[in-house]
Amino acid sequence: MFWVDETAKKIKERKLKLEWVDDMKTPSGKIHIGSLRGVVIHDLVYKSLKDLGVNTKLTYVFDNHDPMDALPVYLDKEKYKKYLGVPLYKVPSPVTGYDNYADYYAKDFASVFTKIGCNPEILWASKIYMSGQMNKVIKEVLDKADLVRNVYEELYKKEMPKDWYPFQPFCSSCGKVSTTKAIDWDGETIKFICKVDHVKWTNGCGFEGRIPPFSSNAGMTGKLPWKIEWPAKWKALGITVEGAGKDHMSAGGSHDFAKHICDKVINYPVPYPLSYEFFLIGGKKMSSSKGIGLSASEMLEILPAEILRFLMVKTKMNQAINFDPEGETIPVLFDEYQKCANAYFGENKDEMARIFELSQVADVKKPPTVRFSTLVQWVQMPNMEEEIKKEGLSEWAKYARVWLERYAPEKDKFMVRKELPKEVESLNNKQKEYLSVLISEDLDFEDAEKLQIQLYNLAKEHEVGSKDAFTAIYITLIGKTSGPKAAWFIQSLGKDFIQKRFTEASR
């Protein structure tokens, strides 16, 4: 049984009236591809539960109320440094046409996961607060502040001061949230200080005041600290399934803390956990706020939607995805996808078939049968556009060209030389004789399969080793000792060009 179906089967055994599957992300900048793994995993669990007949719901929360805590490398530092510490939904968008900074980067990310077949209901943290849904649990947490302090002490051996309260007010003066400290709770209002030196990367204004911690349609007054907000949100919404990357799920991590809050403070059952490994690019972890790594939208420039989804689906949750677009990674990925398609459309409906089924972004359709490595050769050959269209490869051809331009090793690149390459000087007499034979013979330019056989047979008849024979062809055409399948390449260049070029080279 495929891993996600095993997970869904275990969840179904709980027999809850509703399984609410949720994931979340802070849109602090271009959201990297690593965050897309969580989206796909939660989507897979949701769809597998539906297949099992479970009443289920899928949501994705954008934590747009979190503060801007760093400036990504692509931002105008002078323009944005004054917004450090301010909630993201109050920071202006870098692009016109969006409500704010968080709106822009969240929608950019959402457009990617929609394209790869994930369609959760989008929720905005600021709206959850302003709807009043969080108010009851906020009061509960503040009333039990001593129990929250105990959790910190128990888990981290960290004694919290008696005047520490689990709430982050939005400063009534400067609007920042990173710089505020709640120091008193009277059951209705929070007293706070906006401390000048509370964090190293921005300054507070020194304001002191009292505000109610309860948000309304009039606006947000503040938020719970994230480690406490996570379980509080579970209770406020009714979440029953939610996972995170292994950094959050490790012993003593934020999920451990959330479990303690659920058990000892807010009395809510911990949602079914989905712990998954990192998505690495070339062995390195990424960061949205720092602008490190490939963004999710950039990944769709180098992989079609179904192949990007396939990359996530085929890898078990507890295995890291280490994706390096350099070298042969992308051609191999296309090959694996085609193998899974063959399993799906064949008689043996095994795990590979299920992987293919769950990798579809819409209706199931057969992929092209031509290998990506062959397509890479075709897009470099002249006069191949009709063949590419005929084989239904126009879409994949775009990605073959991108791979060639950005990531392909030199050995996979070639170009027909306009003039006879200098490298023909290295040809020996036997190789030149072989080229002369090819000119004199009636080669089959209509059928590449037959032409390939002719090329081999003529080399054998004239006692030229096949390696030397094909090296002569490639050097004459592209100045390299190897290249694409010779017959198809010769066919694409046409009889007149080949006869002229081979005549020049054989002199």
Tell me which of 292 and 44 has the higher pLDDT.
44
- Do residue 42 and residue 64 come from a single domain? yes
Residue-level pLDDT at 93: 98
Average pLDDT value over all residues in the chain: 95
Q: Are 373 and 403 in contact (CB under 8 A)?
A: no
pLDDT digits (tens, 9 = 90+) for 201-233: 999 999 999 999 999 999 999 999 999 999 999
- Do residue 74 and residue 128 come from a single domain? yes
pLDDT digits (tens, 9 = 90+) for 310-323: 999 999 999 999 99
* Res. 127: pLDDT tops 60: yes
Average pLDDT (33-62) is 97
- Do residue 420 and residue 372 come from a single domain? no
- Do residue 96 and residue 213 come from a single domain? no
Q: What is the CATH number of the domain that holds 425?
A: 1.10.10.350
Q: Are 133 and 232 in contact (CB under 8 A)?
A: no
Residue in the structure block whose two tokens are 């990367």: 201
Average pLDDT (32-49) is 96
Give all strands (DSSP E) within 277-338, no chain letters.
Answer: 279-281, 321-323
Average pLDDT (448-465) is 95
Average pLDDT (409-414) is 94
- Do residue 334 and residue 394 come from a single domain? yes
Residue-level pLDDT at 286: 54
Residue 299 covered by a domain: no
Q: Could you tell me which residues are beta bridge partners of residue 21?
A: 58, 241
Residue-level pLDDT at 347: 79
How would residue 287 be classed by pLDDT, with cut points 50, 70 and 90? low
Written as six digits, the tokens of 271 are 């949602």
Q: What is the CATH number of the domain that holds 122?
A: 3.40.50.620
- Do residue 342 and residue 331 come from a single domain? yes
Residue-level pLDDT at 281: 84
Tell me what percent of the chain is helix, strand and coil, each rounded to the nearest 5: 50, 10, 40
Residue 244 covered by a domain: yes
Residue 303 covered by a domain: no
Percent of the chain clearing pLDDT 90 (strictly above): 92
Average pLDDT (143-149) is 98
Last residue of a domain, one of 223, 246, 268: 223
pLDDT digits (tens, 9 = 90+) for 476-502: 999 999 999 999 999 999 999 999 999
- Do residue 107 and residue 244 come from a single domain? yes
How would residue 1 be classed by pLDDT, with cut points 50, 70 and 90? confident
Average pLDDT (235-243) is 99
* Res. 292: pLDDT tops 90: no
* Res. 468: pLDDT tops 90: yes
Tell me which of 283 and 24 has the higher pLDDT.
24
Q: Count CB-CB contacts under 10 A for residue 20.
A: 19
Domain residues for 54? 3-133+225-279
Q: Which of 127, 99, 322 is nearest to 219 (CA)?
A: 127
Residue 147 covered by a domain: no
Residue 315 covered by a domain: no
* Res. 443: pLDDT tops 70: yes
Q: Are 462 and 437 in contact (CB under 8 A)?
A: yes
Q: Count CB-CB contacts under 10 A for residue 107.
A: 16
Helices within 199-292 (DSSP H only): 226-237, 246-249, 254-261
Residue-level pLDDT at 295: 85
d(CA 298, CA 34): 12
| Total domains present in the chain | 4
- Do residue 125 and residue 181 come from a single domain? no
How would residue 284 be classed by pLDDT, with cut points 50, 70 and 90? low
Helix (H) or strand (E) holding 294: none
Last residue of a domain, one of 411, 436, 467: 411
Last residue of a domain, one of 200, 223, 246: 223
Percent of the chain clearing pLDDT 70 (strictly above): 98
- Do residue 105 and residue 230 come from a single domain? yes
Residue-level pLDDT at 293: 62
- Do residue 24 and residue 109 come from a single domain? yes
3-class DSSP state for residue 281?
strand
Helix (H) or strand (E) holding 61: strand 56-62
Q: Count CB-CB contacts under 10 A for residue 285.
A: 15
Average pLDDT (167-190) is 98
How would residue 288 be classed by pLDDT, with cut points 50, 70 and 90? low
Residue-level pLDDT at 282: 79
How would residue 336 be classed by pLDDT, with cut points 50, 70 and 90? very high
Residue 476 covered by a domain: yes
Average pLDDT (412-420) is 95
Residue-level pLDDT at 299: 93
Residue 292 covered by a domain: no
Residue-level pLDDT at 238: 99
How many secondary structure helices (H) and strands (E) does the chain include? 22, 12
Residue-level pLDDT at 349: 77
Residue-level pLDDT at 34: 87
Written as six digits, the tokens of 254 are 């934020």
- Do residue 16 and residue 105 come from a single domain? yes
- Do residue 339 and residue 443 come from a single domain? no
Residue 144 covered by a domain: no
Q: Which of 239, 245, 319 is nearest to 272 (CA)?
A: 239
